Amino acid sequence: MHRTVTALYETLAKAETARAALRAAHLGDDVDIRDQSGAGPLDAHGSDNWLKGLFGGHVDGHAYAEGLRRGHYLLAARVDDLNEIRAAAILDAAAPVDLTRAQIAWAADGWSPQAQAHDALA
């Protein structure tokens, strides 16, 4: 079976560093990096459907979408489930955005996941 590990990075360089580390560990065969424009290998329906497929209804999906909107880069790596912890450690070593702290800061700026979900339906 496979698992998807994700991380949000402030810069493309950091995301690329994480991808390179996954490749060096022989875990980088299925790695996707996206920015707010949806740049990356998109399906026919674009990045919104990619995010929904990746996160489903999970609350972190809204946080990742907000991070992309704010100019960050999302890395998603599909790895064998036996390598999930190893891959997550590699992503963490590349200094990803701390989602908990980011959400607190974004909320101070007026962001809320509920409002974002409502806006997406409008």
- Residue-wise pLDDT tens for the chain (122 aa)? 888 899 999 999 999 999 999 999 999 889 999 888 765 543 333 455 556 556 555 557 788 889 998 999 999 999 999 999 999 999 999 999 999 999 999 999 999 886 554 444 33
Query: Phi and psi for 79 in degrees, rounded to 5?
Result: -130, 160
Q: CA–CA separation, 72 vs 70, rounded Å? A: 6
Q: Would you state the pLDDT for residue 51?
A: 60
Query: Phi and psi for 41 in degrees, rounded to 5?
Result: -70, 100
Q: CA–CA separation, 80 vs 27, rounded Å? A: 8
Number of domains in the chain: 1
Q: Would you state the pLDDT for residue 55?
A: 59
Residue range(s) defining the domain that contains residue 77 = 2-121
For the four alpha carbons of 81, 6, 21 and 98, in that order, the dihedral sign comes to negative
Q: Would you state the pLDDT for residue 89?
A: 97
